[in-house]
């Protein structure tokens, strides 16, 4: 898979560090350079290929917006700032997205999805590798791409799966994994007798349910909502097991 080459330009070390951490969590992204001013970024761009630029607006000497105006050929740009006031001006410069600090991971993923859609790569999903007895064996597992490697996840350890649009967060007993995959694809691949879709954003492990009512299902210490369109099937499935 060809990685998306990313450049971070931000004079706030904490904000730049958060973006670097987010980029490192996605197998499709690669951070090729990080700097704290537009001059260093310009020099890097003159001799290196960059697909996606994360650009702070307020920086010393040359602002992010003024820097953009100097580029005759630019990569896709996602602006980052602590202020919303520059949003209109940023989009007039045809930027891909506009992130307000502090940037939540879910909002970061939304911006990355926009990049995929703009490049026509949104349907490029990694395959799931599993044993042939997925719904039978107590040692059934799946492999998920995360942190630039394939991570083995036993089905018995999964608590729930949360949709983040084209990504999912797989919450297990010990950890959580974010991977570039759609929840509908996982719903089709995982065994119906073990997993239940309760909401457009949530797929749960039936064995991990602690309690439920008509509105919520409790898994561990977390209450997950039951979506209106899923309620009848959820209640039918759970009450049939009583």
Contact call for residues 35 and 13 (beta carbons, < 8 A) = no
pLDDT tens across 58-107, in order? Answer: 887 788 888 888 888 889 999 998 766 655 555 567 888 888 888 888 88
What are the beta bridge partners of residue 162?
Answer: 169, 202
pLDDT of residue 131: 45
* Cα–Cα distance for residue pair 9/74, rounded to 1 Å: 14
Strand, helix or coil at 210? strand
Contact call for residues 12 and 34 (beta carbons, < 8 A) = no
Neighbours of 43 (CB within 10 A): 12
Provide the residue ranges of all domains of the chain, joining segments of one domain with +.
4-119, 141-239
DSSP, residue by residue, 93-161:
TT-SEEEESSPPHHHHHHHHHHHHHHHT-TT--PPP-B-TTTTT-TT-EEEEEETTEEEEEEGGGEEEE
* CATH node for 141-239: 2.40.50.1020
* CATH node for 4-119: 3.40.50.2300
DSSP label at residue 181: -
* Cα–Cα distance for residue pair 12/70, rounded to 1 Å: 22
Provide, rounded to the nearest whole percent, the portion of the chain with pLDDT above 70.
Answer: 86
pLDDT tens across 172-206, in order? Answer: 988 899 988 889 888 888 888 889 999 999 999 99
* Cα–Cα distance for residue pair 9/91, rounded to 1 Å: 18
Of the candidates 96, 46, 37, the residue with the CA atom closest to the CA atom of residue 64: 37
Of the candidates 112, 61, 59, 62, the residue with the CA atom closest to the CA atom of residue 82: 59
Question: Is residue 236 over pLDDT 60?
Answer: yes
* Cα–Cα distance for residue pair 146/157, rounded to 1 Å: 17
């Amino acid at each position: 898979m060809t990685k998306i080459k990313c450049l971070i330009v931000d004079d706030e070390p904490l904000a730049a560090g958060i973006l670097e951490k987010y980029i490192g969590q996605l197998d499709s992204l690669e951070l090729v350079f990080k700097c704290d001013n537009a001059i260093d970024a310009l020099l890097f761009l003159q001799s290196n290929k960059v697909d996606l630029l994360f650009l702070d607006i307020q920086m010393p000497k040359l602002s992010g917006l003024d820097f953009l105006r100097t580029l005759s050929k630019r990569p896709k740009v996602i602006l980052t700032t602590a202020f919303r006031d520059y949003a209109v001006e940023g989009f007039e410069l045809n930027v891909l997205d506009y992130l307000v600090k502090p940037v939540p991971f879910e909002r970061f993923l939304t911006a990355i999805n926009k990049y995929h859609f703009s490049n026509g790569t949104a349907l490029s999903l990694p395959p799931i590798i599993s044993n042939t007895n997925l719904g039978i064996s107590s040692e059934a597992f799946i492999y998920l791409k995360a942190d630039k490697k394939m991570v083995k996840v036993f089905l018995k350890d999964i608590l729930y799966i949360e949709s983040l649009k084209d990504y999912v967060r797989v919450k297990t007993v010990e950890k959580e994994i974010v991977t570039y995959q759609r929840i509908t694809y996982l719903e089709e691949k995982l065994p119906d007798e073990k997993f239940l879709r309760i909401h457009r954003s949530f797929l749960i492990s039936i064995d991990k349910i602690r309690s439920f009512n008509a509105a919520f299902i409790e898994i561990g210490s977390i209450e997950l909502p039951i979506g209106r369109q899923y309620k009848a099937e959820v209640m039918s499935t759970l009450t049939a097991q009583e």
